[in-house]
Chains A and B, each alone.
Chain A
């Protein structure tokens, strides 16, 4: 099965390079030519973070450390929302952490995962999700990090029968920022949503990579949108694999990107690998500028151009937030995206 790279920040030889197909557009060894020293300890940050408005339990890693000094957390989620925060403040140095998340049978959980901080740190998190039969998880990830940071978050997801997994990742990029998800889809009435949104400016780099492996039938729906300006670079790699015997699979993938500057770049690779015949799989991918005709139409209605642009872009990225089921989280994300978008244009 597909799996994330085992990266050890102390050993440069474990850093993937552009010679590794999965990291072709996000060369980690180029970003980090030397081994990374451990970041110093950090005082406990105050509770809350971007999702402070949502009442929830909280687990926070400060410079990669839990309150007890540990680097590995085990979470057993309940019906109440849970905040998982990675807060870093370090001019240099880095940390590695691991999180094991279990959603017990029948529980409908919400995880609000945030990456926050300041400085030129390096963060690397490996998460492993396990949903028991009939469990459901909505995972909202917000990566709002400084432009000098290098941040990698890789997760594996295992699903029990009739489980439901929904994920929305919002990334604003960093020197190198990558969010990668590997999901084994067992079929049997399991449904999966794998959404993403990136809003990039300056020389930021964001990489959203997903691999969904269908071992049985079932549905997967993926919508990823992005807006890129200045000298930023976005990478979208979405792979859907349908194994032999995974009949009845219904997988849809969409990736749409808006390029607002001639020095920005979008690299997309929506990939289908199919070994069963009773399936329905489709992917669509577009990269382009705002539609001149739509702009003209709105302008002809008396709306100033800047506002018309904002309106169109809101409409463009709106779909991602709309697909979030948890109301509080949806509102936070929609507001965050709107503000970020404003800064881009």
Chain B
């Protein structure tokens, strides 16, 4: 018995240590009353002093949402969500001005420190002049509290600000593009988001401008019981380029949290948007309790000729992930890319993939998806590649590889291919295997521990995707993948 107890203790200890981002910062938060009705929507809109058209837009979304049903086709299972038992708005009370670091709440800075927000951004926040050039728009519990590098971006003409601010400063842009990629009633969660989204990032790159730095947002769920509804809108005007990084961490807590974000990308003629995500939200304890529900709608519209959008994602967190970053290839010769690493361990469930909708001539897309399941998790790739009658010369290449570690996990591949003209070529390949014993043995015979061997082999497995990430992100992601799989073998 002693040995059993010892094991139990060891496992418990692991669990506590495992999620290093599990902490709650004590900042006074102003809540909207629990529950959701038209008044909640009005409250959020009023809090943001939004124009009338925006409120109407939200109310319409809310009305539609009430008539919709939660989708159930994904290979995920979770207890029913009580949408009336959530807070829909929480803003830090101490309004922090954007231009002065002295006014940033020290607690907040401490949070960043604990988060291990890559130090260069810490330095940036601390006002170090020589800090590397990465702009951060940190979304701390629904309201962006600090935006850096605004001046330099302004010099280039780049608009990078919270969407609530953009609503006041550039209403014409927001009104023109908001909801133009993901319509209000696109799906259940996107519709909910449209009704109650609190804040998010807004980016506009003017014609011909190459954004002078990588833009970065750290999403952070903080207040207990607050669903986070972010809305991101990125517009790359003709001939522009932008690389956008999104990284996520969240504190440990008892109740499941809902996260239903919407990301809309608009790429005009000759522009390019590179969108990279590292998602490391709390996956729940060993039984899957308390993890984040991540129901995200991400879609890019290559609206004009030769536009290019590239999605790269590293998904290691959340109890449940439901996410399909997609590209609508409307412009002739436009192209879309999707590179994904999804790691599930413990009781995690991920149903993720992409949609490539070929509408324009000579449109190209490329999908590389690497799924790794360990423990008792379930990992599904679900993708759609379709070509319209007019999409002559459409070309797609898809590769989905799954790696299984352990006897109790699942890996699924559900690709949909719909070809509607004789001039498109679609190729799809998928493999599912386990970690090779031979390779493990070889590594171990070279003196590596089991865990190091697994990390090395997995690293090789996901390399194709890692190289698509911006460099500093790639290093983090590599570590994240290894950490996520700790304890899955042996």
Contacts and interface: CB of A to CB of B under 8 A. Distances in A.
Contact of A279 (B75, B427, B434): B434
Interface string A275-301: 111111111111111000000000000
A14 interface: no
Interface in B407-421: 407-421
Interface stretch (B84-92, B128-136, B286-294, B398-406): B398-406
B73 A21 contact: yes
A287 B402 contact: no
A287 B434 contact: no
Nearest to A245: B407
A210 B67 CA distance: 36
Interface majority SS on B: helix, strand, loop or mixed? strand
A272 B419 contact: no
B422 interface: yes
B425 A283 contact: no
Contacts of B412: 271-274
A277 B405 contact: yes
B426 A287 contact: yes
A170 interface: no
A269 B417 CA distance: 6
B76 to A, nearest CB: 14
Interface majority SS on A: helix, strand, loop or mixed? strand
Nearest to B418: A267
A307 interface: no
A245 B419 CA distance: 36
A262 B419 contact: no
Given A259-B419, A263-B389, A277-B405, A285 B426 contact: yes
Interface residues of A, number: 35
A259 B422 contact: yes
B417 A267 contact: yes
B404 A265 contact: no
A289 B402 CA distance: 29
A277 B434 contact: yes
A260 interface: yes
Interface in B132-159: none
Query: Which of A273, A274, A281, A282 has most B Cβ within 10 Å?
Result: A274
B42 interface: no
Contact of A284 (B73, B422, B424, B429): B429
B21 interface: no
Contacts of A106: none
B296 to A, nearest CB: 23
A282 B431 contact: yes
B344 to A, nearest CB: 13
B430 interface: yes
Contacts of A273: 75, 410, 412
B410 A274 contact: yes
A281 B414 contact: no
A271 B380 CA distance: 10
Nearest to A24: B416
B428 A264 contact: no
B428 A272 contact: no
B433 interface: yes
A275 B410 contact: yes
21 contacts: A244-B407, A244-B408, A263-B389, A268-B415, A270-B413, A272-B412, A272-B413, A272-B430, A273-B410, A275-B410, A276-B407, A277-B404, A278-B434, A279-B404, A279-B434, A282-B430, A283-B428, A286-B427, A287-B424, A287-B425, A288-B426
Interface of B: 73, 75, 389, 392, 402, 404-434
